[in-house]
Amino acid sequence: MPFMPRKPRAAALAVAAALCATPAPAQDHFAGKTIDLLVGAPPGGGYDIYARVVGRHLGRHIPGNPTIIVKNMPGAGSAKAAQFVSAIAPKDGTVIAGIMPGAIMGPLLDPRTEAIWDPNKVNYVGTANSGTRVCVTLKGSKIATFDDTRKIKAKFGGSAPNDSTYEYGYLHKHTSGAIYDIVSGYRGTPDMALAVERGEIDGLCGWDWASLKGQKPDWLRDNKLNILVQVSLEPNAELTKMGVPHIFQFVNNPDDRKVVELIISQTVFHRSYIAPPGTPPAQIEILRTAFDKTMADQTFLSDAEKSRVDIDALSGAKVQEVIAKLYATPKDIIERAKKAIRP
Domains and CATH numbers, the chain: 34-130+270-332 (3.40.190.150), 133-266 (3.40.190.10)
Are the C-beta atoms of residues 133 and 164 closer than 8 Å to each other? yes
d(CA 64, CA 33): 8
Q: According to the model, what pLDDT value does residue 222 have?
A: 97
Q: Tell me the CA distances in angstroms from 26 to 10, 31, 91, 249, 289, one per residue in order.
A: 28, 9, 13, 51, 13
Nearest to 339, CA basis, from 125, 173, 163 = 173
Q: According to the model, what pLDDT value does residue 114 have?
A: 66
d(CA 238, CA 311): 14
Q: According to the model, what pLDDT value does residue 315 have?
A: 96
Q: According to the model, what pLDDT value does residue 102 have?
A: 87
Q: According to the model, what pLDDT value does residue 270 have?
A: 87
Give me the average pLDDT of each 10-residue run along the chain (343 residues). 38 39 61 97 92 98 98 93 97 97 90 82 95 96 98 97 93 98 95 97 96 93 97 92 98 95 90 97 97 98 93 94 92 95 94
Q: According to the model, what pLDDT value does residue 27 have?
A: 66
Cβ neighbours, 10 Å, residue 255: 12
- In sequence order, the β-bridge partners of residue 124 are 274
d(CA 77, CA 69): 21
Q: What string of H, E and C letters represents the secondary structure of the chain?
A: CCCCCCCHHHHHHHHHHHHHHCCCCCCCCCCCCEEEEEECCCCCCHHHHHHHHHHHHHHHHCCCCCEEEEEECCCHHHHHHHHHHHHCCCCCCCEEEEECHHHHHHHHHCCCCCCCCCCCCCEEEEECCCCCEEEEEECCCCCCCHHHHCCCCCEEECCCCCCHHHHHHHHHHHHCCCCCEEECCCCCHHHHHHHHHHCCCCEEEEEEHHHHHHHCHHHHHCCCEEEEEEECCCCCHHHHHCCCCEHHHCCCCHHHHHHHHHHHHHHHHCCEEEECCCCCHHHHHHHHHHHHHHHHCHHHHHHHHHCCCCCCCEEHHHHHHHHHHHCCCCHHHHHHHHHHCCC
Q: According to the model, what pLDDT value does residue 22 have?
A: 33
Q: According to the model, what pLDDT value does residue 112 have?
A: 74
Q: According to the model, what pLDDT value does residue 16 have?
A: 40
Q: According to the model, what pLDDT value does residue 308 have?
A: 87
Q: According to the model, what pLDDT value does residue 25 have?
A: 52
Q: According to the model, what pLDDT value does residue 197 have?
A: 97
pTM of the shown model: 0.75
Q: According to the model, what pLDDT value does residue 130 have?
A: 85
Strand pairing of 203-208 and 67-72?
A: unpaired
d(CA 219, CA 203): 13
